[in-house]
Each structure stands twice: as C-alpha cells, then as structure tokens.
Amino acid sequence: MSVFSTGFGAAKAILLGEHAVVYGEPAIAAALSVGVTAEARLAPRSSLQLNQPVSKDARAALQRAFERALRCLDIDKVELQLTSEVPIGMGLGSSGALSVAVANALLGLKSQAASRRKHKVLSIALEMEKEFHGTPSGVDHHTSALGGIVTFKNGIARRLTNPRSFTLVAVLAGQRPNTKETVQRLRERQQLWPQRYRRVFREIGQLAKEGVQAIEQGDLEWLGDLFNMNQGLLSALGLSSPNIEEAVYRLRKLGALGAKLTGAGGDGGAVLGLFENPQDAVRKLRGHEVIVAHFKSDTLKPKKHNAVRA
Ligand code: MEV
C-alpha cells in the first residue's frame, strides 16, 4: 500500500447523442486533454478539497461520491485534493473526469495490478457517477477513462478514427441546473408521452450512427449538419434555452459547420461549435469563456494536448 498517489480523469465533450444515450441509443463523445487531477494521501482522518467553489448540494454529492469510492476499495481514511481545469457542472464532463481521477488515485494507493486496473477504474467511477447523475449512461466516465473519440452504447465504448482534423470550440452559456435534475425532468416528460419521446430518442440515435460514419470518412460538413439537427431535437425535448440558442447561433455565424449544446443542457452550460479553421472565430470570441480542443487527423502523429482555455 502506498501513502500518496495521484490520478487524472479527462473532461469530455459529447458530439452527438446526449440524453438519448440514457435510453440505450448510441452517442459520440471526445476526451479533452484538460480534466481533473486527484491527489490522495493516507491520513489520520478523511478530508476533501476542491480548487473551485461549488454549491452546497454539489459539495454534499461530492462527499457522498468520495465515500462510495472509499467503500469500493475498502480504504478507510484519505485526504483528497482535487484540481479541476474545467468549469464544474457546465456539461464538459467534470463529474465523470473527477470520478475517474479519484478512482485512479485511490487505486494507486492500493497498488492495483495493471491488468485489472481499467475495469476497476470504470466500476468505481460508475459508482461515483450514480451520486452525481442518478442514472448515468456511462458515456462520460468511459470517454474520460478511454481517451480519444469514442462511440458509446449500453456500457460499451469503441474508439473512432478521424482521417480529417477538426476543432471543437466550447462556449459557456451561463449556469444550468445539475445533470441529475435535468435528466430526471426529461424522464418525467417521457413517462407521460413515452411513444413520442421514444421516437425522438431513436432519431437522435440515428444521428449518432451517421456521425460515426461522418467522422470515420472525414466528412466534416456531414458531421456539422448532424450537430445542427441534434440541436433541433434537443430543443424539441425541452433541453435548450435562450442562452443556449444565442450561443448556437453565434457559433454558426462565426463559421461553425454545426453547433449544439453539449452535455445535459437545460438552461445554460457549454455549447459546442465544430470548425475546420477556428482561428477567426476564436479571435472574435475573445473576452468570452471558451475552451478550444483540436482533434488532429489520426493519420498524422497524435498530439498529446488537444484543449486549451482561450
Ligand atoms: C451528461 O454529460 C450526458 C447525459 O446524456 C447523461 C448521461 O449520459 O448519463 C445528459
């Protein structure tokens, strides 16, 4: 058993398929090079620190998630320091990243054998995500743990190849309700009108399936159109808002091939634009909180760092 260990979990952006993925449809997500780092130290008593302010409720959920993780590994007392490079609760997978980071750090204390480690990270992160999301599909923590661009359905993630480079520009469109609440409200609406909601989920799943082909064939115009249609369907599900729509239209006006909310949406959070040449848009967005993530063609040498806060 080690006394000190660190772990990292990548933030993510969902390109297509959020919410429908909770109902068994496929989604596509991409890991960012920025995320959450966890430093864990065996100590006389447990404590938890985070480098960003969060609401009282979020803090309580974090504490419960941490306790779940300790129970999973039968570890008693740990001092945990969390450093997030992404804004918490804005749709960029901070809770999935945090769960993967904590799982990695705690497993480091236990000196877990490498062969079992990936499986263990996923199972501990899932336990923690239940505290944050209620009924997580698993797309966030799988993407965080696996890295790269992935398609995910029903607990199984597969890495995609992208022959053409692209850039995602995420603009923050204000505060939003937590994911658990937004997912629960949507569940209540779909329970009232299951058939109609199911039709929309299926259509979103269809967009994600096409998205896999668009990415693997390097057809960014196709992918952009899928972003736009997905945004329309998320709006039909009641997950958009004036803040979000404003950011979507701004990104499209700045040349995005497509733009949509990413993550749970609801009333704000991150909005994603797909670009081939983002320089002009990023310059014009100066003064706004923006995260820029480059995904180099994987026929070129992979680049370790894909995301920066601009
Ligand atoms: C949240 O990042 C993505 C949602 O689809 C919820 C989930 O998949 O668990 C909204």
What is the DSSP code string of 30-88? Answer: EEEEEEEEEEEEE-SS-EEEESS---HHHHHHHHHHHHHHHHHHT---EEEEEEESS-T
Q: Kindly give the number of the ligand 1 atom that is closest to the alpha carbon of 183.
A: 10
pTM (2 decimals)? 0.95
Q: Evaluate: CB of 129 within 6 angstroms of ligand 1.
A: no
Mutate to test the pocket of ligand 1, among 12, 19, 129 (most ligand atoms within 8 A of CB): 19
User: What residues are annotated to the active site?
Assistant: 140
Q: Is 29 in the pocket of ligand 1 (CB under 6 A)?
A: no
- Return d(Cα 75, Cα 70) in angstroms, integer: 5
Contact 154, 205 (CB under 8 A): no
Q: Is the CB of 96 under 6 A from ligand 1?
A: no
What does the alpha-carbon distance between residue 69 and residue 99 come to, in Å, rounded to a whole number?
Answer: 9
Ligand 1 centroid–CA 96 distance in Å is 10
> What is the C-alpha separation between 66 and 98, in angstroms, rounded?
10
| Local mean pLDDT, 10-residue blocks, the chain (310 residues) | 91 98 98 96 95 92 96 94 93 96 95 79 97 94 97 97 97 90 96 98 98 98 98 98 97 98 94 97 94 89 70
The residues, any chain, with a CB within 8 Å of residue 133's CB and separated by 6 or more, are: 95, 140, 179, 180, 183
With b for 16 or more beta-carbon neighbours within 10 A and e for fewer, the 271-310 pattern comes to bbbbbeebeebbeebeeeebbbbbbeebeeeeeeebbeeb
In 10 A of CB 185, how many CB atoms?
A: 14
Is there an atom of ligand 1 within 6 Å of 9 CB? no
- Ligand 1 atom 8, closest CA: 137
Atom of ligand 1 nearest to the CA of 182: 10
**Which of 16, 100, 137 maximizes ligand 1 atoms within 8 Å of its Cβ, making it the mutation to test the pocket?**
137
